[in-house]
Structure 1
Amino acid sequence: MTNWIPDRDSLRQPLHLSLAASISAAIEDGRLKAGQRLPTHRKLAEQLNLSVNTVSKAYDTVKRQNLIEGQIGRGSYVTDTKKPERQPYILEPEQKNMFDLSISRPAYSKLHVDRMQKLLSELPGDLNSQMFLSCRPNIGFETHRIAGTKWLSLCGLNTQPDNIILTNGVTHGMSAALSALTRPGDIVLSDSITHHLLVSACAYLGLQLVGLDIDEYGVVPDALEKACVELKPKALYLLPSLAGPNIYMMPESRRRQIADIVKKYELHLVENDACGPVAKDRPQPVSEIIPELSIYLTTFTKCTVSGLRAGYLVAPERLFPALTGRLIVFGWMATPLMCEIATRWVLDGTAEELTLWQRSNLRTRYDIARTELAEFDWHGHPSGLHLWLKLPGEWDSASFVAHARQLNIAVSPETPFMAPKSIPQNAIRISVASIRDVDRFQQALRMIAGLLKQQREPLPQLVY
């Protein structure tokens, strides 16, 4: 057990948050090292003349930041951040009687299967052999980039084929963009609650990710400007149109404020618009306002079928040499056959048809959530792929995920979506489209509502 103990005189009200901050600081500066065992709740309470409840709340706060972990029967230990992250999502095929609300994916139906089978049956007759024989051009075939302008116009972005690079989806484009714009040690700004793969990507690339204060519309402009002045960041990663886990639609006025600040401090903007034109009420992308400073990313995986790993990266031509170099390293080029499928669906109207179907289906599920979760604090959007539910009472994210699992319900904890040092929100993310059957989706939400009304029970350490 560690001999470290915080200075009692340094603690301020509220005591549990002040104690949590002291523990976090000790971990960050190395006074508490990975694997060290912390004092028991009761022992620390006695040493600091605090209540056991205050210490327990402090430990829970630090645990939600993924800085410590509790092992039943052994105590609390400092988390080893070098260990591979534990994947909170279910990756196996759907299990019988399992309600999987953990994966953010589009809804689907027989319509999607029929459209894909029809296209695949047509390919052998007229497919250009270059779609499977060629490994260039790295930025994608010109025919695919020309079709991209049509799809991007539906997303509110007016651009030219020469500004488009084909990608294997948003994550592929994000990796290329971040590595092209930054060097190890540089600072990247984002929402405090952001895309979980951005958190991982910045860690892998040696970048400092700083989460900014947010409200119901996204990044707070004053927080962005303050960070620009104090931190001298290189890039801002933004999810203004339903792509973030806390699911908001940034209004046009806020987008223009953000654009003005990016331009004032000569930042680069990386805009994740994965949901594309699914939402009818979406304003124009921020990248349309400041195209000279923006890298815009979108994909077909969130609005048509999740297996269509194809998307577009739009950037000023001056960035193409750096972007192309990174694109080659991270995957050589987007898979031409996938891009051919996406292109044909754009040109014959199938992509738009499936997007409109998605909009209608998600609206139905949103209305169900409004009914089943009416008593609780949650946030979503009629065209969103998931909900952000704040937990009531004694519930915390990790324990609720574990309890829900006992009911064969899988939901996502908040931890993977938190930028480093961000204050935990005590929330979970619920996918609204990962369960195909609408009635089963409603049943799952009803079970979650019932669980939320129950008093939290202690669970033994479980292995799944």
Structure 2
Amino acid sequence: MTIWLPDLSSGSGPLYLRLAERIESDIDSGVLASGSKLPPQRDLAYDIGVTIGTVGRAYALLRERGLVSGEVGRGTYVLERHGSRPSPSAPPTLAHEGSRTVEAPPGKLRFDSTAAPNVGQSKTIETVLAAIGRDNPDDVTSYTRTFPDHWFEAGSHWLSRNGFRPSPDTIVPTLGAHAAVVATIAAVTQPGDHILFEHVTYTQIARSAGLIGRRMALVNSDAHGVDPDDFEAVCAQKHPKLAFLMPTGQNPTVATMPAERRAAIAEIARKYNVLLVEDDLYGALTDDATPLLAEFAPERAFVVGGLSKSVAAGVRGGWVSCPTHYRHSIRVAHKMVTGGMPFLVAELCAQLVLSGEATKIHARSVAEINARLDAVRRTLQGYDFNIAPNIPFIWLALPEPWNSGTFKNAAYGQGVLIDDEDEFKAGRSDQVFHRVRIGISAPATRSEVDNGLAKIRQLLDEGDAGYDSFG
């Protein structure tokens, strides 16, 4: 009997996407006929030398495209095709951005986002935008050529936390925190330089850095954040130019680094001349009183923040505070990598912050997040997960026999979108966590949160029965 195996020797892009496209091609050509059973995920992963998560993502994408169906307890089967085949150039039914769908598929609950919850902030934003359009007609319709002082003052105010009080002359307004970090990397490093990341982190930064020719160096972490000993070892071996860190409310582990460890990291960075980007997006949500990493190394630290997690992700506003002599180069780099700062966005962010409206929305967002975290504690009681006040996600440890990719697929089958650990791996890592991240801020209502959490609890309780749900 001939055993079907997909050929992944050609093509480009993520492995899961190449695998899905190869299977789709074999379906189109008749190699895989209607009714054919695809290999179980674990078997196929072993046979072609990829992770189960990679196979799971490919199978999920094929289900979204209507090519296969997963039958509980039986496996994944090729569906019968009806009518003419769409043109190869036609887009899939659901648009993707990386491994995530841009919009949640019909009937699915989005637990794979940590954007600020909807607490009615659109009314405030509408009022401010109307006033900006009325009072600044010329600026709204033209390119931004000058930055008024209050844009820098707003950034100084928003980034201030604990003992950290950046001067307005250290601030660069940006199109969100992501753009701030990428602009900083582009400005202070060169192609070929190593950028240091934790094994699991916000990987969009790592992917962006790779896109502009930077190389990855991975550092170990534990329950208290980056391990200083390993940080020094990596600095000595790889000579990274810059480290991207999230000392407070790390994404996805929720870890917060204690002060003594921050001091150690700062001293090591000084010893090896490593610049530090401190992403404080989630830190700004917390009441954590630990001094920022930048307070220990002000001459080499860049602090990044924005409005996406506590005010409104759609506004795309942020700032970076930097050592003064880097300010001009980062501002230029930001313009080069983004096309420039739109007046409407920068003015909206500044007015929201300086009027106090952003602080009010922040308070409502935190209250809503904490109410949803209470639901997590109630529903998932008895299971192991990292959780912290004000942080809109948890890092859930999976009991035997679950692994991360399989659990993500099973949750999808139950109508819940979550992130497996591969989503957060900055590079090819041999570390396995058997965890998933569950965000609780995106569902529209608390009842939707309760519904999604109940489905996750059911999967956890099912154990072996749930493990084989998708063949």
Q: SS of the residue aligned with 1:190?
A: strand
For the 8 Å contact 1:104–1:433, the answer to whether it is kept is: yes
Which one of the candidate residues 102, 113, 117 is aligned to 1:107? 117
Aligned to 1:88: 99
Please state if 1:435 is matched with 2:443. Answer: yes
Distance apart, 1:181 and its partner CA: 2.2
Distance apart, 1:280 and its partner CA: 1.2
AA of the residue aligned to 2:98: Q
Instruction: Tell me: CA distance 1:279–1:460, structure 2 relative to 1, closer, same or farther (3 Å).
Output: closer
Q: SS of the residue aligned with 1:388?
A: strand
Distance apart, 1:379 and its partner CA: 0.7
Please state if 1:383 is matched with 2:390. Answer: yes
Task: Give per-residue Cα distances to partners, 1:195-248, cap 9 Å, x unaligned.
Answer: 120221132122221221111121111110111122211111101122511222
Please state if 1:330 is matched with 2:373. Answer: no
Distance apart, 1:109 and its partner CA: 2.1
Aligned to 1:51: none
**What CA distance in whole angstroms lies between the structure 1 residues aligned with 2:411 and 2:346?**
39
Instruction: Tell me: CA distance 1:67–1:178, structure 2 relative to 1, closer, same or farther (3 Å).
Output: farther
For the 8 Å contact 1:64–1:415, the answer to whether it is kept is: no
**What CA distance in whole angstroms lies between the structure 2 residues aligned with 1:239 and 1:61?**
32
Aligned residues: 398
In the alignment, structure 1 segments of 5+ residues that lack a partner are: 1-33, 38-53, 75-83
Instruction: Tell me: CA distance 1:457–1:116, structure 2 relative to 1, closer, same or farther (3 Å).
Output: same
For the 8 Å contact 1:105–1:306, the answer to whether it is kept is: yes
Which one of the candidate residues 411, 426, 447 is aligned to 2:455? 447
**What CA distance in whole angstroms lies between the structure 1 residues aligned with 2:445 and 2:313?**
17
Q: SS of the residue aligned with 1:105?
A: coil
**What CA distance in whole angstroms lies between the structure 2 residues aligned with 1:60 and 1:222?**
36
Instruction: Tell me: CA distance 1:268–1:458, structure 2 relative to 1, closer, same or farther (3 Å).
Output: same
For the 8 Å contact 2:246–2:278, the answer to whether it is kept is: yes
Which one of the candidate residues 192, 196, 200 is aligned to 1:189? 196
For the 8 Å contact 1:278–1:358, the answer to whether it is kept is: no
Which one of the candidate residues 315, 320, 324 is aligned to 1:313? 320
Aligned to 2:237: 230
Aligned to 2:277: 270
Aligned to 1:50: none
Distance apart, 1:114 and its partner CA: 2.3
**What CA distance in whole angstroms lies between the structure 1 residues aligned with 2:53 and 2:110?**
24
Distance apart, 1:384 and its partner CA: 0.7
The alignment's C-alpha RMSD in Å is: 3.0
Aligned to 1:130: 139
For the 8 Å contact 2:193–2:214, the answer to whether it is kept is: yes
Distance apart, 1:55 and its partner CA: 9.4
Q: Percent identity?
A: 23
**What CA distance in whole angstroms lies between the structure 2 residues aligned with 1:103 and 1:258?**
30
Which one of the candidate residues 373, 379, 383 is aligned to 2:380? 373
Aligned to 1:151: 158
Q: SS of the residue aligned with 2:284?
A: coil
Distance apart, 1:339 and its partner CA: 1.3
AA of the residue aligned to 1:63: T
For the 8 Å contact 2:114–2:439, the answer to whether it is kept is: yes
Distance apart, 1:142 and its partner CA: 2.1
Q: SS of the residue aligned with 2:339?
A: coil
Distance apart, 1:274 and its partner CA: 1.6
Q: How do 1:190-269 residues align onto structure 2 when only pairs under 5 Å count?
A: 190-269=197-276
In the alignment, structure 2 segments of 5+ residues that lack a partner are: 1-17, 23-41, 60-74, 78-94
Normalised by the length of structure 2, the TM-score is 0.77
Please state if 1:458 is matched with 2:458. Answer: no
Which one of the candidate residues 358, 375, 381 is aligned to 1:351? 358
Q: SS of the residue aligned with 1:453?
A: helix
Q: SS of the residue aligned with 1:291?
A: coil
